Amino acid sequence: MQEISVNWTFFSLTLASTFVFGVLFAALVRWSAKKKMISQTAWAVAIGVTVTLLAMIPVFGLQVVAIMFCYFMASGIPMIAEYLLRVARDAEEDAEKAKGIAKDLFQ
């Protein structure tokens, strides 16, 4: 196993900063959910992962984090695409159902 040299000061500061970001971002996600914003989940995850990876740069270096970012992108892009397509399909189905109900009510 390869040993990694860690600057514990940077580690502590970035870890604490990431925790604060997580708390604030969770509050933003809660707010957007209460506002019934559609399709925010995928973007919340993508933004959260990106900020977390960026916070890791002072500890692990740009090269290591860039490699990890590539892996997250490789797996995340298909997940985001599937989520957005599913949310759009569900919204379309809901609109069609609403039209049918409205049509039945006004006949």
Rounded to two decimals, the pTM is 0.76
Q: Is the pLDDT of residue 69 over 90?
A: yes
Q: Average pLDDT of 48-56?
A: 95
DSSP string for residues in the chain = -------HHHHHHHHHHHHHHHHHHHHHHHHHHHTT-TTHHHHHHHHHHHHHHHHHHHHH-HHHHHHHHHHHHHHHHHHHHHHHHHHHHHHHHHHHHHHHHHHHHT-
Binning pLDDT at 50, 70 and 90, where does residue 67 land? Answer: very high
- Give the mean pLDDT of 14-20: 95
* pLDDT band per the 50, 70, 90 thresholds, residue 105: confident
70 belongs to a structural domain: yes
Range of the domain at 34: 8-105
> So what's the pLDDT on residue 1?
66
As for how many domains the chain has, the answer is 1
Assess whether pLDDT exceeds 70 at residue 13. yes
Q: Does some domain include residue 3?
A: no
